[in-house]
Structure 1
């Protein structure tokens, strides 16, 4: 379940605190699992500062809190405040805003180095993935992860998300995929070729805040042509 931490403090040294928040983001950028952070100042009391930080779960929030960088920044934050900050932990029970950051994180996770993430903080256990290239839908998180691993085994790749549009419980992403063909793919031996593909993906968010349904549209024919799979047919 999505988790939000509400942090309130009073400070007469806002500019220094603002720079400190930048430092915190820089030092924990590769480890911090926050999906959204918002900072506001009270219009009627400029010394009153409120920060809302969203995490995929309470466990992820605690992992970030236990980072050495977080402890150091907190001590520096206390020194800038007129009194001790107040923390309120909130379990999100209703969320009407589709998270663009979750969509972007999804694509980043698919091609991230190392072992493939469990994806359970992004994708429902019974998610349905629709792809016109496949004769049947891919159903369930385990099946989706198997398909992701197939692509990862075949290509060293990266997604570039060009646009994300959100409306209600749905979002649409336009993306570009750049890769090097390193492993067997649909019976095609590794070619070492650099290939690219463009496409769009539509997401539907489920009741738990994770993706319950995916619709893929991509230039699969163009990819096969780049891999040389159509050479014999063309002749």
Structure 2
């Protein structure tokens, strides 16, 4: 679970404090586990500074705190403060930006060339996939991987996310898809044709950003038409 620490302090020596933060980054280069840092200054009190530091997990934050460089920087920071800084530790229980980023990574991962990468960092183990092309929903990561391999075996493809909206634990992505038909697809032999379609997917995410459920809507009929599967019906 993503972890955030708020460092609240007062200092009349902000420029020196800012330089100290740069020194901390330099000293811990390659060892620092923080993934994002924001420093804000209170508009009503310029001596009031809050730093927001994000870590992949509480455990990674503790690893960062235990670095000897962090301990030294902390002592130097206290010396620059007008009073003792306070620390607030937060487990992130909702992050819509994280959800949207993971949804984009989901589409990029499905289109990865070569072997399909592990999906453990993207999907929960009992991921539930609702796909109109399947008679039954895929339930579980293994079932979803098998379905992905059918598409990947039939096409070299890529997704382009055109629009994305996040609300609560849901992310809706409007995408376009294009691929080259290279293998059997629902009984249709390889045609070598380049085909395309558009669609939307809604993902439900868990608090740590993993995807728990997905609902797909796309132009499957148009895709089959491009592959020639409807030619006999039109005659």
Q: Larger radius of gyration, structure 1 or 2?
A: 2
State the Cα deviation string for residues 164-208 of structure 1 (Å, max 9, x = none). Answer: 111111121111001111222112121111110100111112355
Q: Secondary structure at the match of 1:145?
A: helix
- Give yes or no for the alignment of 1:219 onto 2:227: no
User: Would you say the 8 A contact 1:3–1:92 is kept in 2?
Assistant: yes
Q: Distance in 2 between matches of 1:46 and 1:105?
A: 40
What's the counterpart of residue 193 of structure 1?
A: 193
Shift of 1:47: 11
Q: Distance in 2 between matches of 1:53 and 1:234?
A: 58
Q: Distance in 1 between matches of 2:90 and 2:146?
A: 31
Change (3 A) 1:183 1:52: farther
Q: Secondary structure at the match of 2:145?
A: helix
What's the counterpart of residue 141 of structure 2?
A: 141
Q: Distance in 2 between matches of 1:208 and 1:128?
A: 17
Q: Distance in 2 between matches of 1:93 and 1:47?
A: 24
User: Would you say the 8 A contact 2:3–2:92 is kept in 1?
Assistant: no
What's the counterpart of residue 124 of structure 2?
A: 124
Q: How does 1:1-235 map to 2 (within 5 A)?
A: 2-4=1-3, 12=15, 37=36, 39-43=38-42, 44=45, 50=51, 52-53=53-54, 55=56, 92=91, 94-95=93-94, 97=96, 99-206=99-206, 209-235=209-235
Shift of 1:91: 8.1
User: Would you say the 8 A contact 1:11–1:47 is kept in 2?
Assistant: no
User: Would you say the 8 A contact 2:92–2:207 is kept in 1?
Assistant: no
Shift of 1:234: 1.1
What's the counterpart of residue 80 of structure 2?
A: none
User: Would you say the 8 A contact 1:11–1:49 is kept in 2?
Assistant: no
CA RMSD of aligned residues (A): 3.9
Q: Distance in 2 between matches of 1:54 and 1:190?
A: 47
Q: TM-score, normalized by length of structure 1? A: 0.68
5+ residue gaps, structure 2: 8-12, 26-34, 65-72, 78-86
Q: Distance in 2 between matches of 1:110 and 1:205?
A: 17
User: Would you say the 8 A contact 2:133–2:220 is kept in 1?
Assistant: yes
Q: Number of aligned pairs? A: 201
Shift of 1:122: 1.5
User: Would you say the 8 A contact 1:127–1:141 is kept in 2?
Assistant: yes
5+ residue gaps, structure 1: 22-33, 66-77
Q: Distance in 2 between matches of 1:121 and 1:46?
A: 41
Change (3 A) 1:151 1:92: farther
What's the counterpart of residue 75 of structure 1?
A: none
Change (3 A) 1:175 1:38: farther
